[in-house]
Structure 1
Amino acid sequence: MARNRRPLPNFSLSFLDIMSCGLGAMVLVFLIIKHNVNAAVPAAAMPPDQRGEVSLLDKEVLDGRKGLAELRNTIAEVEQQKVIAAGLARRIQEQVREAQGDTEAKRASSASDEIMALEAQVRDLEREKQQMEAERTKTGEHTRSFSGEGTRQYLTGLQIGGERILVLLDISASMLDETLVNVIRRKNMTDARRTGSVKWRQAVATLDWLTTRFPASSKFQVYLFSTDVKAAIPGTEGQWLNVNESARLDAAVDAVKAVVPEGGTSLQRAFQEIARLRPLPDNVYLITDGLPTQGLGAPRSGGKVSGNERFKLFNAAANQVPNGVPINTILLPMEGDPMAAFSFWGLAVASGGSFLSPAADWP
């Protein structure tokens, strides 16, 4: 049986030769090409014009490296100075805080001292205020000034106060002197000589002193009496005047200074006026020199009144005093009237008032 023969491929020896030749050519080319193109070319191998350019470029590179080194050194110095500056800044801040703390401490200490001093002053002022209020409670607030010539400018036991204060001032002829003989003599003198008598000037000064002790919040009235009764300020009868109106007080005292004592003494008429005031006074200050010499009318015995008759007239007058109204008597005694002190003292006890007979040089 005959065997099938395979067909021969087209790939022949000639093809292999061709491929080998091509590969050899590539190897040859590779060997021929330079592999150190990046290597530095010696200056001697360079053309003269290129050697100058290369030297210039090398110099610029060297200068650049030097500048870079200097810049790095400068940066390092700046960083070091920055660190030093930061340290100094922290130290300064600490010193500032310490100084502020000391200043605040000093201020706090100074403020504390000032506060303590002010508190001490306030306490002193409070004590002074309390003392003044206590003194005002005892003596009343001085609404007017008064300067006396005597050694005593006070009345022991006499409390000046109340919401409504009435002063009854005796302006009879007996207020001219302490003796009956001198009273008769002065009745024949001029008005200036009569108003200049020591006893009358003391009576006026007593009224003046009383008005300076009236509480400023109170009301007042001043009545003058002899055989009849009238207000020191005309047209104010039956009215209460405000003490804080100092012009009214001054007017009352000035009016009394112009009065010339004369006539007899009707204490009963004076006490009747107390009951006519509305509301009633809560303090009455009576300035007189003795028992009354007549009642509501003239004496029957032609002007002569005995001691017993004067005592009866006093009792009749005392019965006119409204209940609850204290009578405070300031007696400027006259010779020959021994029952006066006893009678007015009894009236003070019965009414809840006071009785005083000041020295000749008061107030």
Structure 2
Amino acid sequence: MRRIKRAPVEIFNLAFLDIISCAFGAVVLLVLLAKNGETDTQAGPNNLSVLLDQVLAAQLQVELLQGALSDKQQELAQAQARSAAVTEQLKALESSVPRAQQTLQQLQDKASSLRNEIRQATAMLNVPKSTDKPSTEVGGIPTDADYVVFVIDNSGSMVDGAKWNKVIAVVGDILSNHPQMKGFQIIAADGSFLYAGQEGQWLSDSSSMRQRALDRMRRFTGGGSAPEVGILRALDLYGKTQGKVSLYVFGDDYRRQNLDAIVTEITARNTDAKGDPRFRIHGIGFYRPQGGDAAQFAAFMQAVAKRNRGAFVGLAF
């Protein structure tokens, strides 16, 4: 019998290698999975701490933002309160505008009335050039003087309230009606000067000097009612002035009893070598509703003006 040869058995054939490779791959996969599990387990607590810090930081940021929001809300409330207050003030101002306009209109009307009175009082300031004497029929006051002296009663009754403003306005109006004037001076009825230290001198005539003098008059108060004192002092200090001089006496009260003697003294002191008055002396009387004796002042100044080529004008107030 013929023996059949068998092929040799190969232990490490392709199938065996496939099995071994798969088993090795499975082992490697298990090792990798086991290592990944350990890494996740060990890294877990650290990740939790980081997340917790982030949460706390976020909460802190939220609190800060809430605080800032609260501050802004307070600022907004304050701004709204200020806006409401400004709105109320605006409403109050708007409501006061009509009253202010009404008051302004009243003041303008009063100022217009005052200007009319001044114009009426000085409307007779020119006289015919053919004579040097004022017209006694119209009470005109000539305005061709080279120098003007004011003797003004600045006692309490004259400087009371708006009356003193009227006195200052009349002074300004008389100055403006003397276009050829070279100088002027302002003296209180008691003989004190508006500008102390200027006794016997003239204030140079200019628009600025006139305005400064009128402004200074607002504080020129506190004298007495004795116009003859100021008149006589003016005659003594300025009696030798070369040129025409007009003297204006302002007052609302006079209580001396010996009027004739005083008028005679003033007239004698004002007479030059030819027997003519050196100064024209005019009187401006202001009405005084209570107390005092405005009528006697008027009588006194009418007598003085008549003897010294002047005129007397009475102003109601």
Normalised TM-score (structure 1): 0.43
Normalised TM-score (structure 2): 0.49
> Is the radius of gyration larger for structure 1 or structure 2?
1
